[in-house]
Amino acid sequence: MVDDAGAFTLLQRFARTLVRQYDLDDVLSDLAGELRDVLEVAGAGVMLVDDNDDLRFVSSSDEVLKHLEDLQIELDEGPCLRAYKTAEQVFAPDLRDDSRFPKFGPRAVDAGMLAVFSYPLHYEEQVFGALNLYRTEPGKLDENQRKLGAAFADISTLYLMHGSDDERREQVTRQLQGALDSRVLIEQAKGFVAATCGVTISEAFEMLRGHARANGQRLRTVATDVVEHRLPTDDLHRTRRVVSTGTSSL
C-alpha cells in the first residue's frame, strides 16, 4: 500500500528542493525516513559508490537497516550490490528461499527483514549506488509501491546529477564525497549523543535531525557542532521537548 497524500507531498517537497541549494546528505537522510512511511515498508536505505568504486552506506531509516546495508558490503553479496553491479532492479520478495543470496539472506531474516527491493541509481552508463526498501514480511510490492520506488530512485539520481553537462563529473564527485564525509561526522555525533543522553542511536539521530530542522541548519553543521562540543546536548533535549509539545521556546 501507498500513502497517496504523503507521496504527493513528498514529491512536491523534493521537487522544490531540487531547484534550490541543498545539502545532499540532508536530502538522502530525509528520503530514507520519509520513504518508509510513504511506501508503508519497514525501512529504506541508500548506498553510494566512493572514489574507489566501493559501495558505502550513506543513509537508512534505522539502525537495523544500517547493519544490513553494511553487511552486504562485508559479505560482498545482496540485492543492493547486485542492483549496483547490473544497473537493474533486484527484487527479493522472500529471503528465506532465495538462492542468489545464500550468505546475506539468512542474516537478514535473523534481523527480521524477510524481503528487500533494490533500485539502482544510474544515469546512462554511470551507476552511483542503490536505493533499498525492506519489509518484515515476505511478498511482492504492489504496483504503486514499485513505481514510486523507481520514481524516488530517479529523484535521488537527479540530485546527484544536478548541474550542467560540463560540470557534471566534478559535481557528482564532490557531492558524493561530501555526503560520505558528512556521514562519518553524523555517525560520530549520533554515538556521542546516545552515550551522553542515555538514548538509542535511532533516538539520537532524531534529536540531531529535529534540532537541524527547528533551527534551519544543515544536519552536518549540527553534527559538527556536537562533535566539537559547541552544541550542548541539553540544547538537543530542549529542542526535542519544544517540537514534541508544539510550544515556543521564546
What proportions of the chain, in percent to the nearest 5, are helix, strand and coil? 60, 15, 25
Query: Minimal CA–CA distance to 175: which of 189, 165, 163?
Result: 163
Distance between CA 77 and CA 118 in Å, rounded? 13
In a structure prediction context, what are the per-residue pLDDT tens digits for the chain, which is 250 residues long? Answer: 777 787 878 877 777 776 666 666 677 777 777 888 888 899 888 888 876 777 777 777 677 888 888 898 889 999 999 999 999 999 999 999 999 999 999 999 999 999 999 999 988 778 888 999 999 999 999 999 999 999 889 888 877 776 434 444 555 556 566 666 777 888 889 999 999 999 998 888 889 988 888 888 888 889 999 999 999 988 887 776 655 555 433 3
Q: Which residues lie below 8 Å from residue 58, measured CB to CB, with a gap of 6+?
A: 25, 28, 46, 47, 48, 129, 179, 180, 183
- Round to whole Å and give the CA distance between 166 and 38: 35
pTM above 0.85, yes or no: no
